[in-house]
Amino acid sequence: VNKVVDLIKGNFVAVAVNQLNGVDQKSANGKFIFSLGQRQANYFQVATPGGQLVAGMALSGTTGDARKEVFAALKKWQQMPESLRKPASITDKEAAEPALNSSAEVSARGLVIRVYQRNMKRDAKGEYALITRNDLKDKKVYQDPAWFWGNAIYTEPMPDIMWLTETEWKSLIPANANKGATFNVPAPVQKRLFRYHLVDGTFGLPGSWKLSDIQREKLTLTVEETKPAIRMRLHGYALLATDPDLSKAKHGYDAAIHGVLTYNPAKKTFTRFDVVAVGDCWGGDWEGGRFSRGGRAPLGIALELATGERAGDHVPPKGANFDKDLKERYFLAQKK
């Protein structure tokens, strides 16, 4: 049982804020956040809806549990005078103010796809398997103490989001869908997938691949069924490496890619977008390899349609976050 989760669920209204691109200081939301005072890079605050800070705490470090501090903050709030706890009147205009990082770029017509990136292992049979806490006892393989942080958080998948514009997802639907027909995935979609989402984000904030890092690539769709829906099989591979001479490449991912995409003509939408990329990854990400696993290690990446039900479905892709330039490049992945 994770009691801090239950504590927050039962007693608070929770909101998550990207400090780099989540609030505009000039907006009502931003003014509220900044009125709560200083906070560190990664932090939580408890506040009244009217803007009275109750408690704040950095959540950095490698040990500890925030439950005690969150509980103390709740007690402190309960002991505050009614005049401070009394809910302020929050206008509908303020409440409707979207976060800066909302998915306006894809709008209701775009396609939002969940991405999961997971450190994996091969078991004794050479098959892909989950890394367990017990595995982490092998210090030759899992050398970094960070593997034990947060009850082995790095054995869990890291989430990301992939965006496709309306034009892009429509480009995946063949004009004349004949059973057995095979066609290449259009470059804007393929390059975005490869460069921004076939990355090792398992340890946090990965970079993206340069166009020149795509050493070998192929991605095709084959029509398997045409009625009542168009079902297509995705198949291909991507060899991504920082040097064409793989013996010199400090970072790479050699992935096989498979998927099943289903388009419903009646609903005019994709109803399935399941994709898996698996293969060995080596070297570090843009953190300089701080958490890189030794040698080559299995990295599994899975995609599926976002339903909109999770709050995380509404955040932007990491590759399109942080600044306008990055966002522009994300949508021009096949060019620059």
Partner 1 sequence: MLRNALTVRGHSQWAIVFAVGMSSILLPVSGRAQDATRGSAQTGQVRPRSEKQVQEPSPDQFERLHKLIKPQPGEWKFSEIPWVASVGEARQKAAREGKPLFIWYMVGEPLGQC
Q: Retrieve residue 226's tokens.
A: 């045409």
Nearer to partner 1, 171 or 207 (CB): 207
At residue 269, φ and ψ (nearest 5 deg) are: -155, 160
User: To the nearest whole angstrom, how small is the minimum distance from the Cβ of residue 283 to partner 1?
Assistant: 8
Nearer to partner 1, 181 or 302 (CB): 302
User: To the nearest whole angstrom, how small is the minimum distance from the Cβ of residue 240 to partner 1?
Assistant: 11
User: To the nearest whole angstrom, how small is the minimum distance from the Cβ of residue 175 to partner 1?
Assistant: 25
Which residue is associated with the tokens 């340890």?
203
Nearer to partner 1, 15 or 332 (CB): 15
User: To the nearest whole angstrom, how small is the minimum distance from the Cβ of residue 34 to partner 1?
Assistant: 11
User: To the nearest whole angstrom, how small is the minimum distance from the Cβ of residue 153 to partner 1?
Assistant: 4
Nearer to partner 1, 54 or 193 (CB): 54
> SS3 for 279?
strand
Q: How far is the C-alpha of 196 from the C-alpha of 188, rounded, in Å?
A: 12
Nearer to partner 1, 130 or 170 (CB): 130
At residue 331, φ and ψ (nearest 5 deg) are: -85, -5
Q: Retrieve residue 137's tokens.
A: 């006892």
Q: How far is the C-alpha of 172 from the C-alpha of 164, rounded, in Å?
A: 11
With contact defined as beta carbons under 8 Å apart, do 82 and 122 qualify?
Answer: no
- Report how far apart the first and last C-alpha atoms of the chain are (Å, whole number): 47
Q: How far is the C-alpha of 312 from the C-alpha of 232, rounded, in Å?
A: 27
Q: How far is CA 170 from the centre of its chain?
A: 23
User: To the nearest whole angstrom, how small is the minimum distance from the Cβ of residue 336 to partner 1?
Assistant: 21
Nearer to partner 1, 70 or 333 (CB): 70
